[in-house]
Structure 1
Amino acid sequence: MTKMLKLIAFISPLLFIHLGQARDKSSGCGLGWKVSKRMSITSSSVRLSTNSFTTPLGITSGTSGCKRHSIVQNKFKQIHFVEENMDQLEVEMSIGQGQTVEQLAALVGCENKVNVFTKTMQKNYNDLFQGPKTIPLNLLNMVKDKIVKSSELSAGCHLI
């Protein structure tokens, strides 16, 4: 019995540690808050067990009263931009200049290093565009990888 009380005393604080972690309004949402809105130990326990499975999905998708993390929102903007401008990006990256590739630079956090960004993408064109198998998400990931691997871009960009 004593061991059980010690175990409960040890685990109880861990159950509520998540409550103060999210300052971006992604806390206070999820299916658990739909089930029980009261501020009590029982309600908190119900929310904890329910939200531990559903809140990450709600935050990512923006459902269950959760706001999407800004990281997720930015990634969607970037992917959408690359999807809509894939052909133009291919042309502009091949020549190392153009409005669309400059807009991509700003979207990924390199607005202060646009010239370096465009020249780096031109230099890595053959790695970035590998024929018809190049898909927008892969291109975006490879662009970000090139930013990280470039000492000048990684120092001058705030990768989003």
Structure 2
Amino acid sequence: MKKFFAAVLIGLFVAAPAFAVNRDNVGCGLGSMLLEEKDGLLWEIMATSTNGTSGNQTFGITSGTLGCEKPANFAKREQLDRFVADNMDSLAVDIAMGEGETLGALAELAEVDESRRVDFFVALQMNFDTIYPNGKVAGTQVVDQITDILAQI
């Protein structure tokens, strides 16, 4: 049995370079970056294991580092946070009225389908006190409330 196991290991080391490397197989992460110059199945397995077991791939995806791309919804959230922070007062007025240019721009940034916008505007207007509980509410809290409401309609 030991001889068989040793033969399999030797076979992997000898045969591994014969396989074409497909970086799509291993994904992004620290393992991919550390072993990017290595070719073969064994190296792909090691890169995949490193990416998956140390949690660095998750970090790379959420931060857009380690060769990973940051998902669009995180980028979208950053855009919403910035837009709301820059337009807190005019957005509050538009939400209170249930219409307006700033509210339309918010719907556009949040990618609310045109067929759902009236419902979105009404829902925001009905929940104004939840979205803006006081004059010191932070923009990120406003976005949290808006995204919660959007998920419910």
TM-score with structure 1 setting the length: 0.68
* Contact 1:106–1:114 under 8 Å retained in 2: no
Give how far 1:50 is off: 2.4
Partner of 2:84: 82
Partner of 1:101: 103
Tell whether the 8 Å contact from 2:80 to 2:143 is kept in structure 1 after alignment: yes
Identity of aligned residues (%): 28
Give the alignment partner of residue 132 of structure 2, picking from 106, 129, 132: 129
- TM-aligned CA distance change 1:107 to 1:128, over 3 Å: same
Question: Would you say how many aligned residue pairs link Structure 1 and Structure 2?
Answer: 127
Of residues 36, 57, 60, the one that matches 2:62 is: 60
Partner of 1:22: none
Question: Gaps spanning 5+ residues in structure 1: where?
Answer: 6-24, 155-160
- How far did 1:49 drift? 3.2
Aligned to 2:20: none
Q: In structure 2, which of residues 117, 120, 123 is the aligned counterpart of residue 120 of structure 1?
A: 123
AA aligned opposite 1:73: A
Aligned twin of 2:8: none
1:44 aligns with 2:41: no
Q: Deviations over 1:8-59 (max 9, x none)?
A: xxxxxxxxxxxxxxxxx8x632221221122424312331232122111111
1:19 equivalent in structure 2: none
Q: Which runs of 5+ in 2 are unaligned?
A: 6-23
Runs of 4+ in 1 over 6 A off after TM superposition: none
The structure number with the bigger radius of gyration is: 2
Distance in 1 between residues matched to 2:151 and 2:68, nearest whole Å: 31
Residues in 2 aligned to 1:65 and 1:49: alpha-carbon distance in whole angstroms: 16
Q: Matched residue of 1:94: which SS? A: helix
Task: Map 1:8-27 onto structure 2 (within 5 A).
Answer: none
Deviation at 1:95, TM superposition (A): 1.6
What's the offset of the Cα at 1:132? 3.5
SS of the aligned residue for 1:66 comes to coil
Alpha-carbon spacing, 1:140–1:65, altered in 2? closer, same or farther (3 Å)? same
- RMSD between aligned residues: 2.3
